[in-house]
């Protein structure tokens, strides 16, 4: 290992991982939503919790909103609340999956009035972005069908293209659209944006301000996600990540918890494709729901997992790796990569955090801070976050 920790520190310092507002609310499965003492009752309280994560890690300066879950009357004021807490408002996520009108589709619907309603919702999200200063509109659609023959696959794709075109036309010069794909659920036979190829085809037809969002939980088991990362970076169309981890489906668990090596492989391709560069278009975000664990330490654990795996990736001896690859040294190349993966960067990271005035161990610092007890005492009747009821 020729790369030293000191030499990678500046790159680590620039790391930023956006937090989802909905991670701080109560969520669960279709069986049960467990309430957690201290759960935020308002978006302002969610921002305060997110700011705590940033205060202890310096890794999470932005918070993504979900409309209408985080709807407020005055977004300028909300922006001020965030700024006072030392964070910014980030990606705006649309929601066309909790309304009876969208039972058979939203941006793909055959009924032009319902399709227009879904388009209008996205216009409203862009208005929110104008007020919050957010860069990205993230679109994830629940659209799809359950049975062969239920819908016209091609017609739905054409209507989707038309709807996206109208939404795209509304974006300001500094705004972007990221289109998320998901291979199944809630629809089971087909979804209208099932894979990176479909997202890529749709956003490429729109223009430079439309890119693909890759949610790590939205792939079939066994999918080589890092290959997709490489390809999208190579094509200049990887706009953002939704990080989480999964054992079976869209589990939305703490990133790096189920398969740390997969996270390493993904981040290796991010680095290889210059996705960590200051001028890279890639936005990094968590998309997680904490069902049984406390939410704030859940988010702290997640951003630390990303930081630790990024450090290991930056330690890969790329010169030696390229030489081994070019020499056909199969096992040599593999062991160079594995050397970095197996490097325990935690002591170096702890010392480096302290040198920057941060807690060496943010998890322990949170536990000792008394914040959890404070919010548990102060907040009663916290919000249920989302669809996971």
The answer to whether 182 contacts ligand PSV (rule: CB under 6 A) is: yes
Report how far residue 151's alpha carbon sits from residue 27's, in angstroms, rounded to the nearest whole number: 31
Q: Taking CB within 5 to 8 Å according to partner kind, which of Mn ion, ligand PSV, none is near residue 93?
A: ligand PSV
Q: Which of residues 280-319 bind ligand PSV (CB under 6 A)?
A: 287
Contact indicator for 164, 207 with CB cutoff of 8 Å = no
Q: Taking CB within 5 to 8 Å according to partner kind, which of Mn ion, ligand PSV, none is near residue 308?
A: none
Q: Which single residue brings its beta carbon nearest to ligand PSV?
A: 140
Beta strands in the chain (DSSP E): 19-20, 62-66, 88-93, 136-139, 144-145, 176-180, 190-191, 210-215, 238-243, 283-286
Q: How far is the CB of 253 from Mn ion (least distance, A)?
A: 11
Residue 128: CB atoms within 10 A of its CB come to 22
The answer to whether 250 contacts ligand PSV (rule: CB under 6 A) is: yes
Query: Is 183 or 341 the residue whose CB approaches Mn ion more closely?
Result: 183
Interface pick for ligand PSV out of 93, 175, 288, 302 (rule CB under 6 A): 93
Interface pick for Mn ion out of 55, 70, 192, 215 (rule CB under 5 A): 215
The answer to whether 192 contacts Mn ion (rule: CB under 5 A) is: no
Lookup: tokens for 295? 């939410």
Interface pick for Mn ion out of 250, 294, 308, 348 (rule CB under 5 A): 250
Q: Which of residues 207-236 bind ligand PSV (CB under 6 A)?
A: 215
Backbone angles phi, psi at 202, to 5 degrees: -70, -45
Q: Which of residues 132-151 bind ligand PSV (CB under 6 A)?
A: 140
Query: Is 55 or 250 the residue whose CB approaches Mn ion more closely?
Result: 250
- Integer CA distances (angstroms), 127 to 67, 109, 118, 203, 268, in order: 11, 23, 15, 21, 36
The closest of 19, 17, 122, 23 to 386, measured between CA atoms, is 23
Lookup: tokens for 249? 């489906």
**327-344 residues labelled b (16+ CB within 10 A) or e (exposed):** eeeeeebeebbebbbebe
Report how far residue 343's alpha carbon sits from residue 2's, in angstroms, rounded to the nearest whole number: 12
Query: Is 90 or 362 the residue whose CB approaches ligand PSV more closely?
Result: 90
Backbone angles phi, psi at 25, to 5 degrees: -85, 170
The answer to whether 242 contacts ligand PSV (rule: CB under 6 A) is: yes
Q: How far is the CB of 140 from ligand PSV (least distance, A)?
A: 4
Q: Taking CB within 5 to 8 Å according to partner kind, which of ligand PSV, Mn ion, none is near residue 55?
A: none
Q: How far is the CB of 269 from ligand PSV (least distance, A)?
A: 21
Q: Taking CB within 5 to 8 Å according to partner kind, which of Mn ion, ligand PSV, none is near residue 70?
A: none
DSSP string over 273-328? TTTTSTT---EEEE----SSS-HHHHHHHHHHHHHHHHHHHHTS-HHHHHHHHHTT
Q: How far is the CB of 291 from Mn ion (least distance, A)?
A: 14
Compute the Cα dihedral for 332, 337, 342, 345 and give only its sign: positive
Query: Is 242 or 269 the residue whose CB approaches Mn ion more closely?
Result: 242
Contact indicator for 168, 177 with CB cutoff of 8 Å = yes
Q: How far is the CB of 199 from ligand PSV (least distance, A)?
A: 13
Q: Taking CB within 5 to 8 Å according to partner kind, which of Mn ion, ligand PSV, none is near residue 91?
A: none
The answer to whether 242 contacts Mn ion (rule: CB under 5 A) is: yes
Query: Is 242 or 308 the residue whose CB approaches Mn ion more closely?
Result: 242
Q: How far is the CB of 299 from ligand PSV (least distance, A)?
A: 15
DSSP string over 323-352? HHHHTT-HHHHHHHHHHHHT---HHHHHHH
The closest of 185, 250, 186, 178 to 214, measured between CA atoms, is 178
Query: Is 351 or 389 the residue whose CB approaches Mn ion more closely?
Result: 389
Task: Fill in the per-residue mask, 273 to 292: x = in contact with Mn ion (CB under 5 A), - = not in contact.
Answer: --------------x-----
Which residues sit at the interface with Mn ion, rule CB under 5 A?
215, 242, 250, 287
Which residues sit at the interface with ligand PSV, rule CB under 6 A?
93, 140, 180, 182, 215, 242, 250, 287
């Amino acid at each position: 290992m020729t790369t030293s920790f000191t030499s990678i520190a500046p790159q680590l310092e620039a790391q930023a991982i956006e937090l989802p507002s909905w991670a701080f609310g109560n969520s669960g499965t279709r069986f049960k939503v467990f309430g957690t003492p201290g759960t935020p009752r308002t978006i302002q309280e969610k921002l305060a919790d997110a700011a705590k994560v940033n205060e202890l890690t310096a890794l999470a300066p932005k918070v993504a909103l979900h409309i209408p879950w985080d709807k407020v009357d005055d977004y300028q004021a909300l922006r001020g609340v965030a700024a006072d807490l030392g964070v910014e408002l980030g990606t705006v996520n649309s929601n066309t999956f909790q309304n009876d009108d969208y039972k058979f589709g939203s941006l793909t619907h055959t009924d032009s009035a319902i399709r227009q309603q879904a388009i209008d919702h996205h216009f409203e999200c862009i208005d929110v972005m104008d007020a919050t200063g957010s860069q990205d509109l993230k679109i994830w659609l629940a659209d799809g069908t359950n049975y062969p023959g239920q819908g016209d696959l091609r017609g739905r794709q054409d209507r989707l293209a038309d709807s996206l075109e109208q939404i795209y036309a509304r974006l300001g010069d500094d705004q972007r659209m990221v289109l998320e794909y998901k291979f199944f659920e809630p629809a089971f036979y087909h979804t209208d944006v099932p894979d990176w190829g479909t997202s890529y085809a749709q956003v490429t037809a729109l223009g430079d301000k439309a890119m693909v969002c890759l949610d790590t939980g939205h792939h079939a088991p066994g999918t080589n996600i890092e290959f997709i990362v490489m390809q999208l970076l190579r094509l200049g169309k990887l706009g953002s990540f939704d990080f989480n981890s999964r054992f079976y489906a869209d589990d939305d668990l703490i990133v790096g918890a189920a398969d740390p090596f997969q996270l390493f492989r993904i981040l290796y391709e991010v680095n290889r494709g210059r996705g960590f560069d200051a001028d890279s278009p890639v936005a990094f975000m968590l998309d997680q729901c904490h069902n049984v664990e406390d939410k704030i330490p859940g988010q702290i654990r997640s951003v630390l997992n990303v930081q630790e795996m990024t450090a290991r990736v930056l330690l890969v001896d790329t010169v030696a790796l390229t030489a081994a690859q070019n020499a056909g040294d199969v096992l040599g190349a593999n062991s160079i990569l594995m050397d970095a993966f197996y490097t325990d960067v935690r002591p170096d990271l702890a010392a480096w955090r302290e040198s920057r005035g941060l807690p060496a161990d943010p998890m322990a610092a949170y536990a000792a801070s008394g914040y959890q007890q404070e919010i548990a005492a102060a907040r009663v009747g916290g919000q249920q976050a989302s669809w996971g009821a």
